[in-house]
Structure formats: structure tokens, C-alpha cells
């Protein structure tokens, strides 16, 4: 069995920036165990396996794996796969069957290797729990307790398909100085999926509104350069904060700068009578490489 795969950099138009992604095409003949093993071999934050859709009107069914487990939803695999399929098949709309449901994404080509994509979230973000005590958060992040919080943003747990602890901090200097203390992580951030998305407002920066870092030592990922599912959860906190009035809002979040993998995630949300509707994620992706998996005996 030989399967073609592609490597893309996602949430960027620049190669060797953003979040790397592997996409394996025509993967229907692979077992779940074999997919998991291949994802472990690539050892990227996520690997996508493109399969035939259940509905012939849809473009593909996607299965998304980290090196350790399968995910029902993730943002950068959705953006990257949309760009790849859109470029290859000359599609402006790509309908993808994911574990959380159907996603219809829109793709605009930039050049033969690069495209911009955006999609409405299949599940609206919702608050699922309170945040830990600021003193405990500060210990895990190696910062002062007074550095936890940003304006009226306070820590809380949100999910748009995957749960994240959303942690605001005072400013970008605090964001840069984070040093994780892994001891006690499970006590401070309990749960099977206890990754955290630390963010802050960046009013003095051009080209983005917020900066963020994602840490997941509890699930085997120390830091991720661009995390669409976490940014999707962040939409819920932003909407609930009262910071945004009624209307359509476009927000840009930079991530990955501290890792040397600068990324830009675009968020869309509509507020109507104080309630969130039509949340979405957008970003760019660029094809970096292609190859062949040789799984023949």
C-alpha cells in the first residue's frame, strides 16, 4: 500500500512558519491503529487522514490524530486540508465530515501552493467551567499572581468541541516570560483534556488584536504554535465578556512567535442582543512538501 501525503504550514503564508500539518490522502484502507501509528511517526501536533465521505455531496471525511490520540475537531487541520483539497480540486467550497459534524469551508487561492480558508464552527463555543485560582495558575506558569487577568477577562474553561482552560494575562511581556511548572499540573487543571490557552490584548501591536500561547503538558504537547480549536474556545470568552457590542466582529490572534513559528488566526463572531452567533475561524496555509508512504509488505 502506497499513500501520497503532503506537509503544509498552517495559519501562515510563509513556509517554515505557522503550525506544521501532515495530510494523508485516500486513507480509507487504513485501520485506526495504523492511522495512530502513522501520526506518531510524523510526530506533528496533528495528522489528517482524508477518506471518502458518507454523503456523496460532501468533499471528504477527515480523521484527525495527534501522536497520542484521535480528535473530533481541530482548527489547523481543517484549514490546512481545506486549502490542499481546494487547490488540488479547484474548489471554492469544501464540505468536510468531522467527528463533531459537517464543516463547510470557503477557500480562496493565493498562488498554486497557498490559499486562505475560513469556516463556521460546527459547534458554538460555550463556557463549561470556572478557571482555577489565580494563585495556582501563577505557580504553574511561573508568573506573579497579579499578572493573571487582563482588563475584565478572567480565567474560565470553554469548549467548541475540545475543552481548554482560557487564561488571560496582563500583557505581552508576561506572555513571553512564562516558564511552565509541570508538577501539580493535573491538580490545577483537572480533566482528560487539560490544555491551556494563555492570551492577552495587544493594543499597541499592528496587525493583531491579541497574542496567545497554548500549553498542553498534560496531554503530551508542551507548546503548540497555532491552535484553531483553542482560538475557537476563546471566541466564547470574548463574546461573554461584554467587550464586544452588537454587530459583526473580526479579531486576529497571533500565536507561535515565542517558538519561532509566527502564526495568525482570524476569528469571526456576530453579537446580536448580547448573544453570540455564527462564530468562525480563518487563516492561510501553504504546501511545503509532498511524498509517498510505502506501507507495502
* CA dihedral sign, ordered 90, 93, 97, 103: positive
pLDDT in tens, 219-241: 778 899 999 999 999 999 999 99
Distances (CA, A) of 285 to 4, 111, 160, 290: 19, 11, 22, 14
Query: Mean pLDDT throughout 55-71?
Result: 95
What are the phi and psi torsion angles at 147 (to 5°)? -85, -10
pTM score of the predicted model: 0.95
pLDDT in tens, 255-290: 999 999 999 999 999 999 989 999 999 999 999 999
Say what the pLDDT of residue 229 is: 94
Q: Residue 1 pLDDT > 90, yes or no? A: no
Say what the pLDDT of residue 204 is: 96
Domain 2-120+284-294 has CATH 3.50.50.60: no
**Mean pLDDT score of the chain, rounded to an integer?**
96
Is 46 in the active site?
yes
Domain residue limits, the chain: 2-120+284-294, 126-282
| Domain range 126-282, CATH architecture | Roll (3.10)
Query: Mean pLDDT throughout 177-205?
Result: 95
Query: Mean pLDDT throughout 72-101?
Result: 96
- Among the listed residues 136, 92, 111, the one whose alpha carbon sits nearest the alpha carbon of residue 15: 111
Query: Mean pLDDT throughout 65-69?
Result: 93
Say what the pLDDT of residue 218 is: 75
When mean pLDDT is compared across 53-62, 215-224, 246-255, the lowest value belongs to 215-224
Q: What angle do CA 286, 288, 293 make, to 5 degrees?
A: 125
The answer to whether 2-120+284-294 and 126-282 have equal CATH topology is yes
DSSP codes, 198-259: EEEE-TTSTT-SEEEEEEEGGGTEEEES--HHHHHHHHHHHHHTT-S-SEEEEEEEEE-GGG
Task: Give CA–CA dist 250/267, Å, rounded.
Answer: 6
Residue matched to cell numbers 474548489 = 91
Contact indicator for 95, 123 with CB cutoff of 8 Å: no
Q: Residue 192 pLDDT > 90, yes or no? A: no
Q: Residue 56 pLDDT > 80, yes or no? A: yes
Of 41, 46, 266, 290, catalytic:
46
Amino acid at each position: 500500500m502506497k499513500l501520497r501525503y503532503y506537509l503544509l504550514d498552517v495559519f501562515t503564508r510563509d513556509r517554515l512558519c505557522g503550525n506544521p500539518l501532515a495530510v494523508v490522502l485516500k486513507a480509507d484502507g487504513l485501520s485506526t491503529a495504523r492511522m495512530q501509528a502513522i501520526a506518531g511517526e510524523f510526530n506533528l501536533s496533528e495528522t489528517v487522514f482524508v477518506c471518502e465521505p458518507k454523503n456523496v455531496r460532501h468533499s471528504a471525511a477527515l480523521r484527525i490524530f495527534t501522536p497520542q490520540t484521535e480528535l473530533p475537531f481541530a482548527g489547523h487541520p481543517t484549514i490546512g486540508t481545506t486549502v490542499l483539497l481546494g487547490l488540488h480540486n479547484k474548489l471554492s467550497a469544501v464540505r468536510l465530515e468531522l467527528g463533531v459534524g459537517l464543516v463547510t469551508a470557503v477557500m480562496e487561492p493565493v498562488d498554486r501552493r497557498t490559499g486562505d480558508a475560513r469556516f463556521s464552527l460546527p459547534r458554538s463555543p460555550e463556557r463549561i467551567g470556572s478557571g482555577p485560582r489565580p494563585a495556582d495558575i501563577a505557580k504553574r506558569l511561573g508568573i506573579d499572581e497579579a499578572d493573571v487577568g487582563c482588563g475584565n477577562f478572567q480565567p474560565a474553561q470553554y469548549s467548541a468541541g475540545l475543552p481548554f482552560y482560557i487564561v488571560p494575562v496582563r500583557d505581552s511581556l508576561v506572555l513571553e516570560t512564562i516558564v511552565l511548572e509541570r508538577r501539580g499540573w493535573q491538580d490545577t487543571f483537572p480533566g482528560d483534556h487539560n490544555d491551556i490557552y494563555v492570551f492577552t490584548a495587544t493594543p499597541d501591536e499592528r496587525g493583531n488584536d491579541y497574542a496567545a500561547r497554548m500549553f498542553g503538558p498534560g496531554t503530551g504537547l508542551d507548546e503548540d504554535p497555532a491552535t484553531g480549536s483553542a482560538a475557537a474556545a476563546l471566541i466564547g470568552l470574548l463574546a461573554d465578556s461584554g467587550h464586544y457590542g452588537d454587530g459583526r466582529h473580526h479579531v486576529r490572534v497571533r500565536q507561535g512567535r515565542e517558538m519561532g513559528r509566527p502564526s495568525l488566526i482570524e476569528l469571526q463572531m456576530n453579537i446580536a442582543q448580547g448573544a453570540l452567533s455564527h462564530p468562525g475561524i480563518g487563516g492561510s496555509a501553504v504546501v511545503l512538501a509532498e511524498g509517498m508512504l510505502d506501507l507495502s509488505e
